[in-house]
Copies of this chain bind each other. A is one copy, B any other.
Amino acid sequence: MKIVATKENLLEGINTVQKAVSHKNTIPILEGIYLKAKNNFLYFAATDLEIGIECKVQVNVIEEGEIVLPARHFSDLVRKLPNTKITITYLSDILGVSIEYNEAQVHLKGWPGEEFPKIPDLEGNFQLELHTSLLKNMIKQTLFATSADENRPIFTGVLFEINDNQLSMVSTDTHRLVLRIGKINNNTERNLNLIIPGKTLSEVHRIMKDDEDSIKITGNNNQIAFQTQDTRIISRIIEGKFPDYNQVIPTSYKTLIKVKTKDFQETIERANLFSSEKDGTSIIKLSVKDSLLAVLSQSEMGKVEEKLPIYFEGDNIEIAFNAKYLLEVLKVIDSEDINMTLSGPLNPGIIRPGNHNNYTYLLLPLRTV
């Protein structure tokens, strides 16, 4: 293998695959980045056997071949290289490469390319396409509500549910639930129901570029792949049955308020400074009365009390929520106003964008004395 590339070429490949590199130290070669030079492309790949990422970058290939290089050393070095022509040549005597630039030469030991586990081509039994920016937005709006508790794996992922040309993404950590609906461009499958690991979606969000028109999603009951022209992310699917979310979303309410998203967020951020619980969460009390929303929190250090103007229909109400769960949704909701509907202090509250019905956030209230 021998290639000539720029620092930018190499960084693009490294940055794309890097998060799939294993840090478990059990299989040394998985701590590496696989490189293959072929047909004027340098292919990059990394996998921890749960998620695999591949991409290709156009470079000048002088001799085809493959190698696996230790990810941390290779990436740290490339980041510090000067902006000049970089030549990478396979060195059989050290089972590694020589990296040359200006008057300098680096030798870096690696592993044989053929020992790296192949990232499989999916035998897909479904295939669909979404706008990249839509998928990224749907991930941003659902991923934060997944659970980190590995004892209940289904809640660490996001449900992908397909009905005709509609994709519903749903996540919950049992304290709150998010439902985001989006439109599919192309679809081979009328009905589908898969739980995709949070880490995979986080990588799709990080790697896929907004200038890509659309993302192709293929898969079967075990694996799913997200693909653009130059990049492919493949991941296992989480086994299990997601709870029936339609059942828990209420269809009626007793109180509707409309409030400016940013003002509400900033008020809660201040109120959150007076955390009343040992784990650092704050109980925020909301009191709706006479077209004003009063937000109150208190701790032994003192208290915050702010009043916000709102549009208001229905019953007056006092209700308490966890500040963190309110803040997280206000940060990802993209509308100037939000609608909040409530059905009494012991029933879940619903938050939706002021201008859309494609997003529903359900939040359980806290009981206060």
A residues with CB within 8 A of B: 70, 73, 76-77, 80-82, 94, 96, 102-109, 266-267, 269-270, 273-274, 300-308
Contacting pair B301 A267 (CB below 8 A): no
Query: In the complex, given contacts A104-B304, A106-B304, what are 15 additional A-B residue pairs having Cβ atoms less than 8 angstroms apart?
Result: A73-B273, A73-B302, A77-B273, A80-B266, A80-B269, A82-B266, A103-B307, A104-B267, A104-B305, A104-B307, A105-B306, A106-B302, A106-B303, A108-B301, A109-B302
Are A107 and B273 in contact (CB-based, < 8 A)? no
Question: Do B107 and A302 touch (CB < 8 A)?
Answer: yes
CB distance from A229 to the nearest CB of B (A): 33
Q: A103-B307, A104-B307, A306-B104 are in contact. Are A301 and B269 (CB under 8 A)?
A: no
* Of the residues B270, B274, B302, contact of A94 by C-beta under 8 Å: B302
What B residues does A107 contact at CB under 8 A?
A: 302-303
Chain B residue at minimum C-beta to C-beta distance from A91: B302
CB < 8 Å: which of B70, B80, B106, B305 contacts A105? B305
The residue in chain B whose Cβ has the minimal distance to the Cβ of A304 is B106
Which residues of chain B are within 8 angstroms of A81 by Cβ–Cβ distance?
270
Look across to chain B and name the residue whose beta carbon is closest to the beta carbon of A103: B307
Complexed CA–CA distance, A274 and B113 (Å): 23
Q: In the complex, which residues of chain B have a beta carbon less than 8 angstroms from the beta carbon of A300? A: 109
CA distance A303 to B109 in the complex (A): 9
- CB pairs A–B below 8 angstroms (9 shown): A73-B273, A73-B274, A76-B273, A103-B307, A104-B267, A105-B304, A106-B270, A106-B302, A106-B305
Q: Is the CB of B308 within 8 A of A103?
A: yes
Q: Given A108-B301, A301-B109, A302-B109, verify A270-B103 contact (CB < 8 Å).
A: no
User: Is B302 a contact of A270 with CB atoms below 8 Å?
Assistant: no
Q: List, in ascending order, chain B residues with CB within 8 A of A77's CB.
A: 270, 273
Q: How far is the CA of A266 from the CA of B103 in the complex (A)?
A: 13
Q: Report the separation of the CA atoms of residues A362 and B300 in the bound assembly, to the nearest whole angstrom.
A: 55
